[in-house]
Amino acid sequence: MLQPGDTIGILGGGQLGRMMALAAAKLGLKCHVFCPDPDSPAFAVTAYSTCANYEDYNALEQFAAQVSCVTYEFENIPAPTVEFLKGRLPVLPGDHVLKTSQDRLTEKTFFQSIGIPTAGFAEVNSAEELKAASQNLGLPALVKTRRFGYDGKGQVFLKPESDLDAAWATLGDLPAILEAFVPFEREISVITARNAQGQMASYDIAENVHRNQILHTTTIPANIPPHIAEEARMIGEKVANALDYVGVLAVELFLLPEGHDQRLVANEMAPRVHNSGHWTESACAVSQFEQHIRAVAGWPLGDTTRHSDCVMTNLIGEDISDWPNLAAEPRAAFHSYGKSETREGRKMGHINRISPKSNG
């Protein structure tokens, strides 16, 4: 168990790393953020930082010597970097988790192996295989690169009339999967924490709305019946247990109509704190960021009880320029990530608007 004053290493210096470092400071723990980008938002709030490439093994060696354990804020860390670090100190969540979640094919196969339904999918490695898989799965469907996709990047929506050769070329001839289009009613997510002792705690289920495939709002509670909320929680905890997971994870789920009922299909998991959990900062005693730090530090998990309803809205690109009004809003917590450059589609901050807790 880490003691107050000990240091946690964080790979990645974006807003998620920044909010983890802030949460750690609250518990009396220090952070050392390792990130290649000199303009990393997390550098401004952490006790120690290293600005170096993930392949810079001298810098990694020094970093490893200065921290008690390593965690991360994104899942696309190069495998050799994790391999190097795990030979020296605990990397949490473990590298088997990264291997599962870095690749959409491995991830979906894992979900199915533990009985969690997914959309129909097929591995595709060429335009010919894409055509054959489209015949089998049917269109509409989405073709997604197996690795490095986020916020809708690395994927193409295919309609029955789409030119499949052109779609394949757009993706850059990379290993991919074809995934059946899911006519979902809602998108929801479950945020679950697990520590090394197997203690688990999930937050209430949130409902997510995307715009241009980027998360726009998260609303809590989700507009779903209790049995669906319970099923979503069980999915999060099943994933955490199956991976012997340590830390916070998110599973994104599609809710589909089925006769008079509904059913859940898993989209993807994130082995880290997640944008759809930012609401926990304002509506729970212990936020997802603090929870993740507690889990990797070997501390008991904190209380996930929700005391308020909340709508989290991402501030994307120029949205942040309205900060004087956002900061003045009553019953709202405005959060800016301190990024020096505003770009279209870039997450610049968020605002949590809270209201008294309903029965949901």
Rounded distance between C-alpha atoms, residue 339 and residue 41, angstroms: 6
- Closest distance between ligand AMP and the C-beta of residue 213, in Å? 5
Cβ(12)–Cβ(74) below 8 Å: yes
Under the binding rule (CB under 6 A), the answer on residue 133 touching ligand AMP is no
DSSP 110-137: HHHHTT--B--EEEE-SHHHHHHHHHHH
Helix and strand numbers (H, E) in the chain are: 11, 17
Binding segment for ligand AMP (CB under 6 A), chosen from 12-20, 47-55, 174-182, 280-288, is 174-182
Rounded to 5°, the CA angle 270-327-24 comes to 45
Nearer to ligand AMP, 152 or 298 (CB): 152
d(C-alpha 153, C-alpha 148), whole Å: 8
Euclidean distance between CA atoms 147 and 79, whole angstroms: 13
Q: Which residue is nearest to ligand AMP (CB)?
A: 182
Q: Establish if 237 lies at the interface with ligand AMP (CB under 6 A).
A: no
Single out the residue of 208, 188, 158 nearest to residue 313, CA to CA: 208
Q: What angle do CA 44, 84, 272 make, to 5 degrees?
A: 50
323 lies in the site for ligand AMP, by CB under 6 A: no
- Is residue 212 a contact point for ligand AMP (CB under 6 A)? no
**Contact region with ligand AMP (CB under 6 A), list: 4-12, 77-85, 88-96, 178-186:** 178-186
Structure-block tokens of residue 109: 């196969």
Question: C-beta of 148: minimal distance to ligand AMP in Å?
Answer: 11
Which one of residues 133, 142, 205, 264 is an interface residue with ligand AMP (CB under 6 A)? 142
Q: How far apart are CA 277 and CA 204, in angstroms?
A: 10
Quick one: which of 25, 44, 89, 182 contacts ligand AMP (CB under 6 A)? 182
Q: Least Å distance between CB 219 and ligand AMP?
A: 15
Identify the residue among 90, 94, 149, 175 touching ligand AMP (CB under 6 A). Answer: 149
The amino acid sitting at 145 is: T
> Smallest distance, Å, CB 152 to ligand AMP?
5
Q: Are 144 and 104 in contact (CB under 8 A)?
A: yes
Of 29 and 255, the one with the shorter C-beta distance to ligand AMP is: 255
**Choice from 119, 158, 222, 293 touching ligand AMP (CB under 6 A):** 119
Q: How far is the CB of 55 from ligand AMP (least distance, A)?
A: 26
Residue 231 makes contact with ligand AMP by CB under 6 A: no
Joined together, the tokens standing for residue 113 give 């192996």
Contact residues toward ligand AMP (CB under 6 A) are: 119, 142, 149, 152, 179, 181-182, 187, 210, 213, 252, 267-268
